[in-house]
Amino acid sequence: MIQIEREYDMKRFLGFVKKEFLHIFRDFRTLIILFGIPVVQILLFGFVVSTEIKDAGIAFLDLSKDEISRKVIHKTVSSGFFSYSGELTSIGEADRIMKEGKAKAVVIFEPQFGEKLFREKSAAVSIIADGSEPNTATLITHYLTAIIQNYNQELTGSRVGEIVPVKAEVSMFYNPELKSHFMFVPGVITLILILICALMTSVTITREKEFGTMEVLLVSPLRPIQIILGKVTPYFLLSFINVILILLLSWLVFGLPVKGSVALLLAESMLYILMALSLGILISTVSKTMQQAIFISLVGLLLPTILLSGFIFPIENMHPAYHWVSSILPPRYFITIIKNIMIKGTGLGFVWKETLILAGMTLLFMLLSIRNFKTRLE
Amino acid sequence: MRTTLYLIRKEFLQIFRNKFISKAIFAVPIVQMLLLVPAVTFEIKNVDLCVVDMDLSTASRSLITRLEGSSFFRVNQQSFSLEEAQKLLHRDQCDMILHIPTGFGRDLVRDQGSSVMVSANAINASTAQLSWAYLNGVLRDYNMELIAEMTGNSGSVAGSGSITGAGSLAGAESAGLPGTTVISGKGTLPEALPRISITNRYWYNELLTYSWFMLPGILGILITAIGFVLAGLNLVREKEVGTIEQINVTPVKKVQFMASKMIPFLLIGLIDLALGLAIGRLVFHIPFEGSAGLLFLGSAIYLVAVLGLALLVSTFSSTQQQFMFVAFFIMILFILMSGVFTPVESMPLWAQKVNLANPLVYLMRINRMVMLKGSEFGDISGNIGALLIIAALFMGFAVRKYRKTA
């Protein structure tokens, strides 16, 4: 008797899962977007977003207009980092051109630049950078300084011997070619998984609530846990396919293979997906409408995930208080895990702490959801 | 006109009836601004350095002391085996290893040349490069001192490499150019060489305060997210629930209906903007160089563009879920390509072309230019014009695409 009951139970559950799958596959557009988002984002990050300086506009105020200052200008413009945005005639124009946003920096040569350089052995260049973009401003200043110094050396180079008492050799570990992909691939996986999973689950459950179909499910012989599992299973599989897709892309397009164990990475991804799904369930138990669920997952999670997970901005550089804030955000741990397994090729021994924390968070979200899940309608 | 006003009133009632949304539209931006604006920085501090000093000589110790003295590095580990140190690097317990081999001090005296090895964790390529540049800067100063000792002349040599640089990064001018130190011939007093002295200044943000840079960006993203998500969902919801048919059978015109779906969120966005600017002024002390009116003008046109796009997307979507995914996609695209976090100029040309249609790019420029540089209407007129065109296009399409028939 009990045996038969169990069989029915399983059948019912599978039927429910099938229904959920049908719901998803019926909506072709969502499906396309679901797989389109990761692909486009990976490509976007690989080819578009970079913090390097390229073609930054530089204007020159050459009060000297001699051979040397011309040469410095030529060196700067031909370096590849900068583009020439014009010659100024007075310092007042510097403010103008930067206010219009046409130049990021202005280089000023003092009058009789070349003459002073050879007669008085010293001539002055002044760099004024647009500090409203601090990172760009510092990089531009560094590059300009380096270019001018190099030129300075070229001028003097023939006349001096070179002694460097302490030479340093550097080896860049894990990423010898200094590719930026090593930062963004883990970041994109983390960002996409948490947002898509949390969004999808929270929306599908609140949808049933909002439309009143939850009632139908609740009076069915399905138990609440089966309802939730049934809702989550399809998304679990879809997200998992997404992970594989992203890993394949990062390998084929950017040549970033998984150094460590692929099985371990996939297992960790499953854990992370599970965490994100339970977060989604939790969001759905506290939201009455889809609008609310979407608002929480999209507006509430998007920026903190981008900014505080160490995705673009390293956490180490933040104020110590933010180390605490970021430690309650799950993405941070997953980024560490992926970087370890994928790039460093380390095993579970290096990431067991992060794994445990993620597992703990998953458990916490699940318990909270079960407590909040109402089997009755108000 | 009266019809539109009634419809707008209805929308407001619906928004504020929902307890969560009515609070969240103001609370979320405030909390996120306070939390996120001061968090973000590209400035690198406290690079953990592991020193493997196999030499233990006066020379090696003086080099380590120099590194300890720099605010950039934190010598937090000492080890006597390179393998041990590499394990630490592997475990993320240090970011960089400085390996000073045996005989470092001896070679320095005997052969006047010696070497050290540096290993850096380069997963974050830009941090690794910058750390290496800093370390190189420290080494160069150390070299200068050594040379000065050797030649017995401290003044002119030490001076020849120093640069008057503002800001905290003045040790790393030769970023990525190791071994650029050129020092005059050994043993002889250096003859004065032509030297270009470089001074630099940062205008508009003298101390390079990051929060000044981030606030306009984060504020822009927040008003985008709130407006886009709420306005779009609102219209799709009417479709999904079926109430849109009730509107469709009334004599309400398409334009009136669209206006009533847009204006409430436009107002909410502008209120959020005002809140954000108040926070910027009171909490982060951002200097307001330009006129607030210009900021509001730019943001208002921007919001019309974004809301128009949201409505356009929602006329194509049949469920809130569909809309949400498209919204997610578009927002990520807008945000990452907009130059909020990374410079637009360093993107490839085709991306910059795509960016012509990205309204957030223009808003970012307007916000930063007006707030920090005090740009006037003439300076930003191009951006305003572009926003106007985008707004007209999105809005026009949205009204056209919306069908009153089901």
Task: Give me the pLDDT at residue A306, please.
Answer: 82
CATH code linked to domain B47-161 = 3.40.1710.10
Pure H helices in chain A: 2-26, 28-47, 67-77, 91-99, 113-119, 134-157, 181-211, 213-219, 224-252, 262-286, 290-294, 301-308, 320-327, 330-338, 348-372
Tell if the CB–CB gap between A165 and B112 is shorter than 8 Å.
yes
- Contact between A132 and B212 (Cβ < 8 Å): yes
Task: Give me the pLDDT at residue A365, please.
Answer: 92
**Is there a single domain that holds both residue A213 and residue A133?**
no
Q: Does A378 touch chain B (CB under 8 A)?
A: no
Angstrom distances, CA of residue B209 to CA of A134, A264, A273: 7, 42, 37
Q: What is the largest CA-CA distance in chain A?
A: 106
Rounded to an integer, the average pLDDT of B201-228 is 87
Q: Does A182 touch chain B (CB under 8 A)?
A: yes
What confidence tier does B187 reach under pLDDT thresholds 50, 70, 90? very low
Task: Give me the pLDDT at residue B362, please.
Answer: 94
Q: Is the pLDDT of residue B387 over 90?
A: yes
Q: Does A328 touch chain B (CB under 8 A)?
A: no
Task: Give me the pLDDT at residue B179, please.
Answer: 35
Q: What is the DSSP string of B322-359?
A: HHHHHHHHHHHHHHHHTTSSS-GGGS-HHHHHHGGG-H
Q: Is the pLDDT of residue B60 over 80?
A: yes
CA–CA distance, B404 with B249 (Å, rounded to integer) = 8
**Is there a single domain that holds both residue A234 and residue A316?**
yes
Distant-in-sequence, close-in-space partners of B61: CB < 8 Å, separation ≥ 6: B53
Closest CA to B133 of B92, B96, B178: B178
- Contact between A29 and A77 (Cβ < 8 Å): no
CA–CA distance, A194 with A303 (Å, rounded to integer) = 12
**Is there a single domain that holds both residue A43 and residue A61?**
no
Q: Does residue A9 sit within a domain?
A: no
Tell if the CB–CB gap between A48 and B348 is shorter than 8 Å.
yes
What confidence tier does B307 reach under pLDDT thresholds 50, 70, 90? very high
Closest CA to A202 of A333, A327, A298: A298
Strand partners, A60: A87, A107
Best probe of the B interface among A173, A292, A327, by most B CBs < 10 A, is A173
What confidence tier does A1 reach under pLDDT thresholds 50, 70, 90? low
Chain A window 224-243: which residues touch B at a Cβ cutoff of 8 Å? none
Q: What is the DSSP string of B353-365?
A: HHGGG-HHHHHHH
**Mean pLDDT, rounded, of chain B:** 82
**Is there a single domain that holds both residue A343 and residue A216?**
yes
Q: Measured between CB atoms, which of A56, A123, A126 is closest to B345?
A: A56
CA–CA distance, B152 with B189 (Å, rounded to integer) = 8
What confidence tier does A59 reach under pLDDT thresholds 50, 70, 90? very high
Rounded to an integer, the average pLDDT of A68-78 is 89
Here the tokens at position A210 are 């909002």
- Contact between A267 and A354 (Cβ < 8 Å): no
Task: Give me the pLDDT at residue B273, please.
Answer: 94
**Is there a single domain that holds both residue A68 and residue A202?**
no
**Is there a single domain that holds both residue A258 and residue A230?**
yes
For the full predicted model, state whether its pTM sits above 0.90. Answer: no
- Residue B401, H or E segment: helix B377-401
CA–CA distance, B296 with B219 (Å, rounded to integer) = 12
CA–CA distance, A342 with A337 (Å, rounded to integer) = 8
Q: A308-312, B54-58, B94-98 — which is least confidently predicted?
A: A308-312
Give pLDDT tens digits for A206-248: 888 888 888 888 888 888 788 888 888 888 998 898 889 888 8
Q: Measured between CB atoms, which of A50, A72, A131 is closest to B208?
A: A131
Q: Does residue A164 sit within a domain?
A: no
- Report the side by side order of strands in the sheet with A122-130: A82-87, A56-62, A105-109, A122-130, B195-203
Does residue A139 or residue A276 have the better pLDDT?
Answer: A276
Angstrom distances, CA of residue B156 to CA of A96, A114, A146, B171, B186: 39, 21, 21, 19, 14
CA–CA distance, B161 with B198 (Å, rounded to integer) = 11
Here the tokens at position A319 are 């104020």
Tell if the CB–CB gap between A128 and B213 is shorter than 8 Å.
no
Which amino acid, A261? S
**Is there a single domain that holds both residue A40 and residue A64?**
no
Q: Measured between CB atoms, which of A50, A125, A307 is closest to B198?
A: A125
The ipTM is 0.79
* 3-state secondary structure at position B119: strand
Distant-in-sequence, close-in-space partners of A78: CB < 8 Å, separation ≥ 6: none
Domain boundary among A102, A118, A153: A153
CB contacts, 8 Å: A176 with chain B:
122
Q: Is the pLDDT of residue A260 over 50?
A: yes
Q: A36-50, A96-110, A132-146 — which is least confidently predicted?
A: A36-50
Tell if the CB–CB gap between B332 and A37 is shorter than 8 Å.
yes
Q: Where do the structural domains in chain B lie, given as residue ranges?
A: 2-40+212-401, 47-161
CB contacts, 8 Å: B218 with chain A:
303
Q: A203-207, A260-264, B70-74, B171-175 — which is least confidently predicted?
A: B171-175
What confidence tier does B166 reach under pLDDT thresholds 50, 70, 90? very low
Q: Is the pLDDT of residue B160 over 80?
A: no
Q: Does residue A378 sit within a domain?
A: no
Q: Measured between CB atoms, which of A55, A165, A336 is closest to B345?
A: A55
CB pairs under 8 A between A and B: 414
Q: Does residue A161 sit within a domain?
A: no
Task: Give me the pLDDT at residue A227, please.
Answer: 83
Q: Is the pLDDT of residue B156 over 50?
A: no
Q: Does residue A331 sit within a domain?
A: yes
**Mean pLDDT, rounded, of chain A:** 83
Rounded to an integer, the average pLDDT of B204-227 is 87
Query: What is the CB neighbour count within 10 angstroms for residue B6?
Result: 13
CB contacts, 8 Å: B18 with chain A:
289, 291-292
At residue B202, what are phi and psi to the nearest 5 degrees?
Answer: -110, 120
- Contact between B155 and A209 (Cβ < 8 Å): no
Query: What is the CB neighbour count within 10 angstroms for residue B71?
Result: 9
Q: What is the CATH number of the domain that holds A94?
A: 3.40.1710.10
Task: Give me the pLDDT at residue B298, please.
Answer: 94
Rounded to an integer, the average pLDDT of B105-125 is 83
Q: Is the pLDDT of residue A157 over 70?
A: no
What confidence tier does A198 reach under pLDDT thresholds 50, 70, 90? confident
Angle, vertex CA A226, rays to CA A223 and CA A228, nearest 5: 115
Q: Does residue A159 sit within a domain?
A: no
What confidence tier does A358 reach under pLDDT thresholds 50, 70, 90? very high
Task: Give me the pLDDT at residue B199, please.
Answer: 80
CA–CA distance, A126 with A111 (Å, rounded to integer) = 12
At residue A168, what are phi and psi to the nearest 5 degrees?
Answer: -125, 140
CB contacts, 8 Å: B132 with chain A:
170, 172
Task: Give me the pLDDT at residue B269, please.
Answer: 94
| Domain limits for position A339 | 15-48+180-372
- If one counts the domains in chain A, the total is 2
Rounded to an integer, the average pLDDT of A331-345 is 88
Q: Does residue A1 sit within a domain?
A: no
Domain boundary among A153, A169, A191: A153
- Contact between A53 and A140 (Cβ < 8 Å): yes
Task: Give me the pLDDT at residue B175, please.
Answer: 37
**End-to-end CA, chain B:** 25
- Contact between A100 and A106 (Cβ < 8 Å): no
Q: What percent of chain A has pLDDT over 70?
A: 95
Give pLDDT tens digits for B335-369: 888 888 777 877 888 888 888 999 999 999 899 88
Task: Give me the pLDDT at residue B172, please.
Answer: 37
**Is there a single domain that holds both residue A236 and residue A141?**
no
Task: Give me the pLDDT at residue B151, please.
Answer: 67
**Is there a single domain that holds both residue A134 and residue A198?**
no
Task: Give me the pLDDT at residue B313, please.
Answer: 92
Q: Is the pLDDT of residue A159 over 70?
A: no
Q: Does residue A269 sit within a domain?
A: yes
Q: What is the DSSP string of A34-87?
A: HHHHHHHHHHHHHHT---S--SEEEEEEESS-SHHHHHHHHHHHTTSSEEEEEE
Does residue A83 or residue A166 have the better pLDDT?
Answer: A83
Find the radius of gyration of the CA atoms of chain B. Answer: 29
